[in-house]
Chain A
Amino acid sequence: MQRRKSKSSPVAGLAHLVLSMGYGRYFDELEVGRQFRHWPGRTITEFDDTLFSLMSMNQHPVHIDEHYAGETQHARRLVVGPLVISLAIGLSQADVGGRVLETLNYSEIRHLAPVFHGDTVYAESSIVSKQELPDGRGIVIVATTALNQRGEAILSMQRKLVIPKRPEGEAPCAS
């Protein structure tokens, strides 16, 4: 059986592979002031919230007891805060954090509005500052805002990340 010949050269095929392997960005590819609107978003289900609360040992009844929550300010269960934070970070990884070597800190985390079951979370990020290190790495501060399906901000936060510079000879990020 004869193998079908590819129209593109082996080199072109390889370049495509390297580009498609991009997840996150190198230090060189994150310019201060650049903004990213992350895609896709994610609808938080009741299942997600209960599972996340219990898995992270958070047994606050406002997250896991509908009858208790019914007597509180919003009269229903609230989505647990660390889930919103973890999701906002997760949503941003493909654009900004996917090459991070180390997360140094999070700061100025604000829960701006309550999140309920069925709400969808979207996220946006901007690059606040950059500092080059002598060893082929750099420190980047990223600000991320999470929004619900009505475009209302529900969370804002920053994180300080150690990100490597692009190795010599590696193709730059597609965008």
Chain B
Amino acid sequence: MSFGRYYEEFETGAVYPHWPGRTITEHDNTWFALLTMNQHPLYIDEYYARQQPLGRRPAIDTLVFSLAVGMSVADTSGKTIANLGYESVVFERPLFPGDSLYAESEVLEKRESASKPDRGVVAIETRAYNQNRERVLVLRRSFLAPKKSSE
């Protein structure tokens, strides 16, 4: 029944490595782009992409972002009451179909809710890497975590 963490179980400065990682396939990329109505030819037209600076289709940014968040949930926000938002999502290098994505999260800060005693705000930084341990993305988000003592 362990999925995510209660407020008490977050420790500022702790780093949680997420497992498993995920290889992004060409199918994932095309399908994800079209499902989210993103028809930028860079992601769905190989001939167009070959003439662009990267020379081929990169993984679409929204997919890399969504996966980094998804991978982090079981170790971090899996019991969350509400996801408050993201301070920043920085893309540091491109990822391509065939590459794998791995992620880890660090607890930046935790504080009790001012109005509701049964919960607290947790801020984390999630870092995603490719199979060569090159950093691809860094994001910071905060969410409301319930207290175990309030169950």
Using a CB–CB distance below 8 Å, which chain A residues touch chain B?
A: 23-24, 42, 48, 51-53, 55-62, 72-73, 81-83, 85-87, 89-91, 93-94, 97-98, 100-111, 157
Contacts and interface: CB of A to CB of B under 8 A. Distances in A.
B62 A89 contact: yes
Interface string B22-54: 100000100011011111111000000000110
B147 to A, nearest CB: 15
Contacts of B40: 23-24, 93, 97-98, 100
Interface of B: 3-4, 22, 28, 32-33, 35-42, 52-53, 61-63, 65-67, 69-71, 73-74, 77-78, 80-91, 94
A82 B62 contact: yes
Contacts of B36: 83, 86-87, 89-90
Contact of B63 (A56, A101, A108): A56
A5 B87 CA distance: 59
A105 B39 contact: no
A86 B38 contact: yes
A82 B83 CA distance: 11
A90 B38 contact: yes
Nearest to B28: A55
Contacts of B22: 57
Contacts of B32: 55, 86
B77 A60 contact: yes
Given A81-B83, A111-B84, A58 B37 contact: no
Nearest to A121: B37
Is chain B's binding surface mostly helix, strand, loop or mixed?
Answer: mixed
Contacts of A86: 32, 36, 38, 62-63, 65-66
Given A86-B65, A97-B40, 19 more contacts: A24-B40, A53-B70, A56-B69, A57-B71, A58-B66, A59-B3, A59-B70, A60-B3, A73-B81, A82-B62, A82-B66, A89-B38, A90-B36, A90-B38, A93-B39, A103-B61, A103-B91, A107-B86, A107-B89
A87 B66 CA distance: 11
Contacts of A87: 36-37
Contacts of A73: 81-82
A106 B65 contact: yes
Contacts of B70: 53, 56-59, 82
Nearest to A106: B89
Contacts of A42: 37
A89 B86 CA distance: 15
A64 to B, nearest CB: 11
A49 to B, nearest CB: 11
A164 B151 CA distance: 54
B65 A101 contact: no
B62 A58 contact: no
B35, B66, B78, B91 pick with most chain A CB within 10 angstroms = B66
B35 A61 contact: no
Nearest to A110: B85
Given A60-B77, A82-B65, A109 B37 contact: no
